[in-house]
Amino acid sequence: MRKLKALLFLPYKLILLIDVIAAPLIVYALSSLSETHPISLAAYLISAYALTVTAVNFKGIVRRLRELAKGDELALVRGVKALMRRNRYTARYLESREFRAETALYAGLCFDLLYAAVKGGSGLYYHSAWLISIGIYYLVFAMIRFFLTRRVRKSRTASDKQHEWRTYRTCGVMLFAMNITMGGMAVQMVKQNKANQYSQTLVILSAAYTFYIFTLAIVNVVHFHRKISVILSASKAVAFVGAVMSMYSLQTSMLATFSNGADDDFRRTANSMTGIAVAAITLTAAVYMIVKGTLALRRSEKE
């Protein structure tokens, strides 16, 4: 038991070093080597071990990285903070949790609008219903974020909580519209067996980024649930729904890229089951926000 603990519970620096070694090694093995090559086998073992120790020590790693980011232990962090404090906006970003959440909301709005324009335009140019459905999805996503940004501005002058809870409930209603567009994308994926097919290296990099934003979305939903305004809490819930959809899109891309055209039945089954799960998560989030917002408004009216 002691030997097992010694293998699993490592110093965070050693874990990060193993992850840094494993990531490029598995990318090289999957993109350039055969499955039976000795380096590929070693890459699989190292990657499995890296994933295991990272998962086991994830909470401690996050806590330690947060301490390093917030503290002055590292010279690089001290230098970056000193530069940020010279500008009032970056200084505010450094000090205010709410301002950071608002900044992320505006950045997400810009990204969604750009992505919707690119995908929608590509769909019209190539006459692809699949690309058009993706563009519509991100357009609806951008509309929700735009709605939230406008309401955040109003909440700065609103003196009562009813304004925020109405926004929270309306955001839940708008998630229903997003669920419709997500359903359209899922139908396109399953019926036409379509997906974004990229090179193996790009898929692996996309997977790393998707897992990052998915983990960040979960942390934000939990961390900001009771600590910031209701509107910004709603924005984190919307970001979580977007991260779930990104996981679904990643799954379809990975199946399309690594299956080499085989196992079409398995791809359809896997995409169908995941699509249903994503739709259920979105629907649950929407219902939760509507019910919670309605109950909060009723309590506020009674008071």
Residue 194: pLDDT band (50, 70, 90) is low
Residue percentage of the chain with pLDDT more than 70:
80
**Contact between 289 and 175 (Cβ < 8 Å):** yes
Per-residue pLDDT at 239: 81
29-50 pLDDT tens trace: 877 777 788 888 888 888 888 8
Answer yes or no: is 84 within a domain: no
Answer yes or no: is 64 within a domain: no
CA dihedral sign of residues 301, 150, 101, 248: positive
Four-point Cα dihedral 63, 248, 206, 47, nearest 10: 60
**Closest C-alpha among 228, 220, 255, 241 to residue 288:** 241
**Closest C-alpha among 181, 177, 155, 179 to residue 167:** 155
Lowest-confidence pick of 149-163, 254-268, 274-288 = 149-163
Answer yes or no: is 80 within a domain: no
Question: Alpha helix locations (H) across 156-199?
Answer: 162-191
Answer yes or no: is 52 within a domain: no
Domain extent for 222: 97-303
Does residue 255 surpass a pLDDT of 60? Answer: yes
Answer yes or no: is 85 within a domain: no
Residue 120: pLDDT band (50, 70, 90) is confident
Rounded distance between C-alpha atoms, residue 82 and residue 176, angstroms: 44
The three-point CA angle 196-251-240 to 5° equals: 105
Structure-model confidence comparison of residues 292 and 152, the more confident one: 292
Four-point Cα dihedral 241, 243, 247, 252, nearest 10: 80
> How many distinct structural domains can be found in the chain?
1
Query: How would DSSP label each residue in 224-254?
Result: STTTS-HHHHHHHHHHHHHHHHHHHHHHHHH
Does residue 159 surpass a pLDDT of 60? Answer: no
SS3 87: coil
Tokens of 186: 């899922």
Answer yes or no: is 156 within a domain: yes
Q: What is the pTM of this model?
A: 0.63
Answer yes or no: is 12 within a domain: no
Answer yes or no: is 186 within a domain: yes
209-228 average pLDDT score: 66
